[in-house]
A and B are shown apart, each in its own frame.
Chain A
């Protein structure tokens, strides 16, 4: 199993450009999440999904959109990038069954917006 993978690993965008970050998991997990990580602020939830075809807003959703057309994939889109979106983005997935809701994280995407 590859676990949770993220594409791309690094990206530099100019202000106003758009891009899509792809998260894929091969563990048949129900729940998937997108976080951003900034120095001193921990992990903040952007959007999440509790199943194929469903999405919901997290703590910091503005400027981002998501889609979960297939259970194994969760896409994060930036329609018009801003310097404030410079961050490290992590995707995570959770089984959704059983007792422990352990989150499995991908390796991250480091995004710089100039």
Chain B
């Protein structure tokens, strides 16, 4: 079945530094979603990417979908303590299902 590999597993950054997490698949994806989960909380939808090469921005967050639609990235510029949490990518697994990556845990030192 569909699998998505997410790296890194964990990143600890100084407040103000940038952060990037990557999501990779061996097969072409129809679309990809990104979610954020705060510590102790539940996943919250951030965005969906559909088109090859698509780039979307939400304030300090930049989301990209690769040209071949096999990879995606989430980049946070100038991290803040409010950015802490786990970021998941999720790919269409067929049959109205999503397949989630293992997530990247972000910790921010102030």
Write the residues of chain A forming the contact surface with B, with a CB cutoff of 8 angstroms: 31, 33, 35, 40-45, 48, 50, 56, 58-59, 90, 92, 94, 96, 100-108
Q: Is the CB of A105 within 8 A of B96?
A: no
With an 8 Å Cβ cutoff, the count of chain B residues facing the other chain is 24
Contact of B102 among A31, A42, A58, A107 (CB under 8 A): A42
A43-B88, A100-B48 known; A94+B96 contact, CB < 8 A? yes
Give chain B residues whose Cβ lies under 8 Å from the Cβ of A40: 9, 102
The answer to whether B78 has its CB under 8 Å from any CB of chain A is no
Interface of B is mostly: strand
Contact B103 A101 (CB under 8 A): no
Write out the residue numbers on chain B whose beta carbons fall within 8 Å of the beta carbon of A106: 42
Task: Say whether A107 contacts B96, CB under 8 Å.
Answer: no
CA distance A41 to B9 in the complex (A): 10
Taking the nearest CB of chain A, how far is it from the CB of B24, in angstroms? Answer: 14
Interface presence of B44 (CB below 8 A): yes
In the complex, whether B68 has a CB less than 8 A from a CB of chain A is: no
Q: Are A101 and B43 in contact (CB under 8 A)?
A: no
